[in-house]
Amino acid sequence: GNSVTQMEGPVTLSEEAFLTINCTYTATGYPSLFWYVQYPGEGLQLLLKATKADDKGSNKGFEATYRKETTSFHLEKGSVQVSDSAVYFCALSVLFGSSNTGKLIFGQGTTLQVKP
C-alpha cells in the first residue's frame, strides 16, 4: 500500500541551526511528494512540492529533493528561525481514476520548536 513515514519529534533547535526532517515513502507508481506546514492554531499550508524523481522543491529557505532510489523526501533548511516553529507534514499524492486528481496520504507530522 501507500504510506509515509516521518522522523519522530519533537525536534528542538536553536536559532540559526541546520534542520533536517526525514521522510520516506512507500507507493505504487510515481507519486507527487509534498511538505505541508501547520502553524499553531491554523490549517495546513503547502510549503513545497516535487512531482518527479530528482526534482527539488524549495520555498522560504526550505528544500527537499525527490529521491526515487531511496524513496525519500527529506526537508532541510540551512538556518532556522523562531518563526519556523510549527508542525511539518510530509505527504504523497496518489492519482485515482481518470480525474488527474490525487488523494493525499500524510505522515504523522514532526513538531519543530526553535529557541532564540
Give contact residues for other proteins (rule: CB under 8 A). Answer: 4, 32, 34, 36, 42-46, 49, 51, 89, 93, 97, 99-109
Grid cell for residue 48: 513545497
90 close to 4: Cβ distance less than 8 angstroms: yes
Q: Which is nearer to other proteins, 40 or 116 (CB)?
A: 40
The CB-of-38 to other proteins minimum distance in angstroms stands at 9
Q: Which is nearer to other proteins, 18 or 103 (CB)?
A: 103
Q: Distance from CA of residue 97 to its chain's centroid?
A: 25
Q: Which is nearer to other proteins, 2 or 17 (CB)?
A: 2
Q: Which is nearer to other proteins, 36 or 73 (CB)?
A: 36
Strand partners, 72: 24, 67
The CB-of-74 to other proteins minimum distance in angstroms stands at 17
The CB-of-83 to other proteins minimum distance in angstroms stands at 19
Give strand ranges (E) for the chain.
3-6, 11-14, 19-21, 23-26, 32-38, 44-50, 56-59, 62-65, 75-77, 86-96, 101-106, 110-115
